[in-house]
Structure 1
């Protein structure tokens, strides 16, 4: 099968489109024929091996997982022993390592039936990003109707889902983005939109019950200043953070861990984890029309390296999708 393979850390130039062996599903796995896969900041970090501390998990000298891609939407080709509820021919979406390929093996617990009203491209855009938004708002912050929520990075892959999910839970939502994305964020249902090139949300008078930070370019003190006295600050490790090449996004997360025991405000980290239950919840949100994936651009599988380069260099908004 064809796949996008990485043998060493570096820029998008290290990615090669070449022939590799087709995987075989083990017990508890399903073999998926990939129709579409999405690009995430996760792919960029893994490609570069950045921050350096990340390599202790991903591989010290070279990536342990050689095929890039994490999100997938496609059709089940075969199932391993012990798999229940999925059968060959089922249309599915979810997460797996190595989705920039014609086929991928996924854990049964990390894929579920695709939303019936979405295309494969739209479904592929959801799993990692939408799950991150769902867990950050529902599970970590406990967002409920009537609360005020600010999403910093509202036009990005996770942010576009976060705005919609917060609205689905009945919150009053403020999105922070650049000038060119104001109309996009407003179209997602945001009640208020702040253009960060003109206004600093950490110095304004509004205070928010929940701040979901997806950018990481503000200090912990600045972010806490935007909260109500008992508000919740949720930090995600998926953006472009100022922490150096060694710690990267973990610098802000470490600061949060040190500070949180001593303040009334809740300073929380977002440990997003794929699950069939969350995918089912996302499917319900999509099929009810409360959440719709936004795709900026698609690339064919052979140009997956360009897709990642676009995310890195062009500061892509919403989602970039690779089609197979």
Structure 2
């Protein structure tokens, strides 16, 4: 598949639905068994893929694959591919020159800080942002203004509008109607969602220090937090991406490497709007769409309104997180 410019989002969508059929299917894998990490090389002419997961569903064996050039994921039957199993280190070395592996290495280099480790911005040369909205566990309903407003602002110049949603397993379980509403917006080609793994439980303590909080809480089962979220995505007809966002943006170096060993790229932010951080060109913007952070949502809506003329002139756009990351690392070492 030819490399597409970041702004050609409708073309990207057509590619995902036509060329990569299984990648965008709304199939719900209701009877998943033996879901586990499985790494290696898979080939179906003319494309090489890195294998991330393997599972069974209704008597068939499936693979979760990533295109290491575009960071696009897909689910397919194993029988469609030539497959060479490898351990994770060998697989990463095999694909070491690709944008996907370069992004993983960049995230690992930024792993020392306890907050906001990982990739914090996309394409600094582009005028626009990468919007990410977190869906942490919440008793409040989805803040639908985010999605209706971005569609209304961008529908004449950019459709579907790309947005990345960091979703937890608990939120999916608690908000099936909100999840269905988002899926309907995607099915109508109003938005295109990159689904980011945000852990299953998103445990948080109001008293514990950061070094013992969120996923750093003693006794946390990282495999469960990662893999059960992916399984919940698949059972709900969602396609897991190669991105992971730490709950509370809290991690340590050891935890970052555990996540990258799953083949996932930690995504931070350089513009958490509710904290007063202002987005720059190429920023990965963070807001919470779970109803718990109206200030951040209001700030984003004000930002949209201030950019109305620039949006109309295609001078300020929302970018697909996968494309921003893969283009940033395409020519890097």
What is the TM-score of this pair, normalised by structure 2? 0.28
TM-score (norm 1): 0.29
